[in-house]
Structure 1
Amino acid sequence: MLNNRQKLSSNNVWGRGLLVFQFAMAVALGIATVVFYRQMQFIQTKNLGYNPNQVIKIGISGVRDVQKITRSFRFYLKENTLIKSISLAGEFGFRDIQVNDRKLLSYMRTIDEKYIDLMQIRIAKGRNFSDQFRSDSAFGVLVNESFVKASGFKDAVGMQITSEPNAAEKLTIVGVVKDFHYGSLKQRIQPMVMPMSGHSGGDALWVKVETAQQTEALALLERTFQKVLPGAVLNYQFLDQQNALEYETETRWQQIIGYATAISMAICCIGLFGLTHLATARRAKEIAVRVVLGATASHIALLFSGDFLRIVIIAILLACPVSAYLLNIWLSDFAYRIHISWWMFAAVGGVAFVLTLLTVSSQAFISALKNPVRSLRAE
């Protein structure tokens, strides 16, 4: 268009089509940026049902006496104010739980009596594990609200269940915890059973440390780890960082689309600037005559903005339904998600509209403020 100095007129379908496509792409990327940002903000601020802040997971590899390791850690760290709490827990995946005459697929996590308080998980009914009840370590379990709902129990506390492969061993529900997100927000909360780690073992220590002295707490854990397991490597990870890794791909795409939006908007503005410059140069005599007859700079800017603003409006109308369809497909991967609202389209469309108006008006104002005598003499 710039090379052939084509006019932006009604019969220039190819040029107008390219401009509509360019702006539609820019608006679609802008809407995607807003939706990505809102969904990631929703993930980062959603109440998970527990508090992951300053919780450290320390992996225990190999065949070891995890109960003894936990007791040693507590013995060495019981008087230290840097460490708030220590718990033993393990992940065992999904298992079939026999509930009356049917099987219920449930997620199993072994925990000890400190885990619920350390994670700040709320008890809905019943009680937490306690040293005062010796049977807890062998036969006690906690379940979540989703388990109670799926099992059909009216009052789950005191009910007995069995777990594969130990189908002959009866387990008694001593408490029901509020639902919490043990996985990412891409999956719905499933039924969950938590026996005591003394019954089924564990593969990680969970340590709650003092917020203001994180570095000192890590150094203390390293020294203690070497005392308890000489020569072993301390393998740890902060729980909030572990949660963030679940959305690493989405975070990366959020950044990519954000950059792409900024670049595409800049390219659109550069293209508009060039087209407006050519249009004002071709219509220099018309502008001069209008100025002589009393037209103001605002009138000239409005005259040139009309064609371009119509193109942007068409681009916005084309981009919105396509963006809504594709973004709803992306959001369907999340069991817990935001809903796309009209204001997201309005906000991005408004930005595109304002940028177009400013870009076109700036050139039109410059042309209108020129001395009309020079333009008329040149013609």
Structure 2
Amino acid sequence: MFRNYFKIAMRSLWRDRTFSFINLLGLAVGLASVLMILAYVRFELSYDKSYSNSPNVYRLTMQTKENGEDETRLDLPSGLADVYKKEFPAVTAYSSVSNGKLKIKHKGEMVELDQISASPDFFKLFNFTFLQGAPEKALAERHNVVITQSTAEKYFPGVPNVVGKSIYSIQGKRDLLISGVIADIPANTHFKADVIYSWSLNEPLNWRAYSSVSQYILLNNKATASVVQEQFKSIYKKYGFPPEVEIALQPVTSIHLYSHTEDEMMPNGDIKYIYIFSSIALLILFVACINYINLTTARSIQRAREIGVRKVLGAVKRQLIMQFLSESFLFFVVCSLLGAILAKAAFPMLSGLIGPAAKEVSLFDGWSALAMLFIILLFGFLSGLYPSFILSKIKTASVIKGTVKLGVNVSLRKVLVAVQFVITGVLIVCTLVIYQQLRFVNNTRLGFDKDNLIAVPFYMMDSHVATFKNELKQHEGIKGITVASWETGVHFGAWATMNNETDTTKTWKFQFVDADPDFIKTMGIKVQQGRDFSRSIQSDVLNIDSLFDKARAAGKADHSAFMVRRPIILNEEALAMMGIKYQDNLQIKKGALHGTVIGKVQNFNGLNLHEKIPAVVIRCSANKEFGQMYIRISPQNTQQTLAFIQKKWSQFYPEQNFDFKFVDDKLQQLYSADKKVGEMFGTFAVLAIVIACLGLFGLISLTVQNRVKEIGIRKVLGASVANITALLSVEFLQLVIISMVIASPIAWYMMDRWLQDFAYHIQINWWIFALAAGISLLIAFVTLSFRSVKAAMANPVNSLRSE
């Protein structure tokens, strides 16, 4: 029996090749989209789950309030994890971890490696695969390092065992002993490292000394995180915890998708995008299934005679339903195979959206096979059920008389097509809003000149700095040089909070930029009042810290009296936050903020448009020797100027690579995740449009079939091609308009929520919805015209011959 169903299904598909191809293409594209998004979602959800201990590993976070709002921070007091291990038996191991760059000397050249610094228990919490060495001893000695397999192969080619070898650290000016080799760290973890460095703070708990490292603990199998966290409160008073602070446990497996603190080791994902893209995948599949239903019923009248003959020969309703369900299942199997091929072919596009981690994303595995089987069974059944019931109701007498009327609920089918265009409209609007916001990001003035500006990490701290800068200034293509603590898009440098003098429920937070006197001029920041720093003014170039150290050694130290002499320049936000007006030589003594105000600059966005411009204090450090070196160059002869800088760099710092980046490129990278979202929305919007148009084509085809004699009569009575085209198309265009009316508030709500992630963003204007509606109407009109014009131009004799 099933063999017979299979043969009939294959004949039916081949007989109606055009409709079968359209159906096949729509479903295959939908299934390919599902496969690719499913691979992306599985990868994102797999972060930090490869460790055997991962269910019991937690990162310590500090929950506090910033201006009345809850804030999560990672810069916990030093020595905190050690206290927990001492006080609570449930804590079996802990590790302090930080990340950074390790500069090593290899074959006479400087090489920069990604580094994790970790205390000895690190491998008890995170059991990476050891290829050489023993994990329990790997970080037992200070200055030991564990390197990855690819690092070992790159720098020690042909050496079977590198344990006992050493690498030379340029920063530490010493050899580091290799104590182990691990398999390369996978991409689906919040760590990224070529080298893991043995390091331990070994500091007592100090609530005034906040550590910039992340702290992790391992709980035993019997412990419950919520219970342990509640027990932690019992020692708050004993160790002098500030009343506004609470320590929380964050599961390591939730860091990637749920944590977005300022001090994350890696750029994290976001769970909301998992929900968004999973929903898009299901919606696209839903749109494709609607197409199958519409196109199947659209051509069902052509099978009426076949069904009538089968009923005459004794076929019952159940057998007819089974036949059409078999066709549906077979069709979905074929579509799944084609969808898998399309997904494989289109996977490089997904790789471009995900980035380097895509090489570890598995497109086909057991989960994807189960997912496809589930889709075939569920959607194959649901998509085939409605057409099978409609077709099985055809009466034999109607077939013989030639008066077949399908029990097809045209209103339901129109609703389904409207749903398709609602989904399409939402995706079009979202894509337009995202690209408008990205355009806004690119064109917004940041308060400093980001063009023709290069940034170079600079940690020399030697006597050559001033000479090096003077050598560069001799070149006509170099317009300015400065060294500052501010790294554009990353951080300003130091920061501090202090009590709000007017509202005790809030605090003031200041960002400090330590820079040399050329900073404001080189960065192109506008001085609104007062003056800029100047090397010719003695008070600007005094080394206040050095003077204080000398006074303290002589027993005459008054920290406040010395620090208030430091010249500072405030931005608009800093003055507004404190509620004071600018005054020349205004002395400020507020907590960590001490200095004499000599100028006021306009607000400048030093991080990104996701964050509000903070209160910034610029402190002059006449001989700033570490941080970021910014060099402003002429737009003419850029390559020659860069070659000159590199030549001078090699003369002064032969062991260091000239690792520069253009600031505007660095700032663009800050929005890479937003660009990926825009690209994915755009891609799936196009797919949804294509699939929805196939559905519209199916519906207009059904309408033409049902009204073929009416069209013939109208042509005989003098109706033009334009009249008939309008007659057939207008109701569907009305459907599209109604769909856009429904889609607009949905899209507005989604994009309004998305834009809330930006402190500075566009307003969603009416013309975006009008443009999206215009795009939808144009695409729908072209699709409808293709079929309706063909019907309007047909010879009426053919349709009226039997009358």
Partners of 2:585 and 2:418 in 1: CA distance = 67
Which residue matches 1:106? Answer: 510
SS across alignment from 1:192: strand
2:423 aligned with 1:25, yes or no?
yes
Mark the CA change 1:199 to 1:205 in structure 2 (over 3 Å): closer, same or farther. closer
Change (3 A) 1:10 1:332: farther
CA distance in 1, matches of 2:501, 2:625: 26
Matched, 1:79 2:466: no
1:235 & 1:164 partners in 2: Cα distance? 38
Tell me what 2:667 maps to: 243
TM-fit CA distance, 1:239: 0.7
Q: 1:164 to 1:234 in 2, by over 3 A?
A: farther
| Higher radius of gyration, 1 or 2 | 2
Judged with a 3 Å threshold, the aligned counterparts in structure 2 of structure 1 residues 114 and 274 are, in CA distance, closer, same or farther, namely same
Over 3 Å counting, the alpha-carbon distance change for 1:74 and 1:368 in structure 2 is same
2:701 to 277, 292, 295: 277
Cα shift readout 1:101-142 (whole Å, capped 9, x = no counterpart): 997320111122211111111101110011221111341111
Deviations 1:298-340 (A, max 9, x none): 1111111133123212211211111111100000111111111
Task: Output one character per residue of 1:336-368: Cα deviation in whole Å (capped at 9) or x when no partner.
Answer: 111111111111112212222232133222211
What is the distance in 1 between the residues matched to 2:450 and 2:789? 56
Flag the 1:217–1:200 CA change in 2: closer, same or farther, 3 A: closer
Greater RCO, 1 or 2 (C-alpha within 8 Å, sep 6+)? 1
Partner of residue 123 from structure 1, selected from 515, 519, 527:
527
The answer to which of 9-18 and 77-86 deviates more is 9-18
Of 211-220 and 34-43, the range deviating more from structure 2: 211-220
Letter in 1 for 2:701: H
Q: Tell me if structure 2 keeps the 8 A contact 1:95–1:106.
A: yes
Q: 3-state SS of the aligned residue for 1:198?
A: coil
CA deviations over 1:66-104 (Å, ceiling 9, x no partner)? 6x3431222322321121111111132322469999973
Pair 227,162 (structure 1): closer, same or farther in 2 beyond 3 Å:
farther
Within a 5 Å distance, the mapping from 1:49-64 to structure 2 comes to: 49-61=447-459, 64=460
Tell me, what secondary structure is at the counterpart of 1:203?
strand
**Structure 1 unmatched ranges of 5 or more:** none
RMSD across aligned C-alpha pairs, in angstroms? 2.5
User: Offset of 1:173 from its aligned partner?
Assistant: 0.9
The correspondence for 2:574, drawn from 147, 172, 177, is: 147
CA apart distance, 1:23: 0.6
Judged with a 3 Å threshold, the aligned counterparts in structure 2 of structure 1 residues 185 and 26 are, in CA distance, closer, same or farther, namely same
Output the TM-score relative to the length of structure 2.
0.44
Q: What CA distance in whole angstroms lies between the structure 2 residues aligned with 1:133 and 1:333?
A: 43
| 1:47 paired to 2:445 | yes
Counterparts in 2 of 1:275 and 1:172: CA distance versus 1, 3 Å:
same
Partners of 2:516 and 2:624 within 8 A in 1: no
Corresponding residue SS for 1:124: strand
Output the amino acid matched with 2:740: I
Is residue 255 of structure 1 aligned with residue 689 of structure 2?
A: no
Aligned to 1:35: 433
SS in 1 for 2:569: strand
Task: Pick from 585, 588, 591 the counterpart of residue 161 of structure 1.
Answer: 588
The question of 1:350 aligning with 2:774 is answered yes
CA distance in structure 2 between the aligned counterparts of 1:81 and 1:373, rounded to whole angstroms: 84
Question: Retained in 2: the 8 A contact 1:54–1:208?
Answer: yes
Tell me the residue number matched to 2:496.
95
Quote the residue 2:761 is aligned against: 337
The alpha-carbon deviation at position 201 of structure 1 amounts to 5.5
Among residues 603, 606, 612, which one is paired with 1:188 in the alignment? 612
Q: State the SS of the aligned residue for 2:694.
A: helix
How many pairs were matched up? Answer: 373
Q: Secondary structure at the match of 1:173?
A: strand
Contact 1:70–1:205 under 8 Å retained in 2: no
Change (3 A) 1:136 1:356: same
> 1:98 touches 1:104 (CA, 8 Å); kept in 2?
yes
Match of 1:359 in 2: 783
1:218 alignment partner in structure 2: 642
Which stretch of structure 1 is more off in the superposition, 192-201 or 320-329? 192-201
Which letter maps to 1:41? R
1:202 positional shift:
3.6
TM-score, normalised via structure 1 length: 0.91
More off after superposition, 134-143 vs 184-193: 134-143
Q: How far apart in 2 are the matches of 1:82 and 1:207?
A: 10
Measure, in 2, the Cα distance between the counterparts of 1:320 and 1:104.
40
Which amino acid is the alignment partner of residue 716 of structure 2? Answer: V
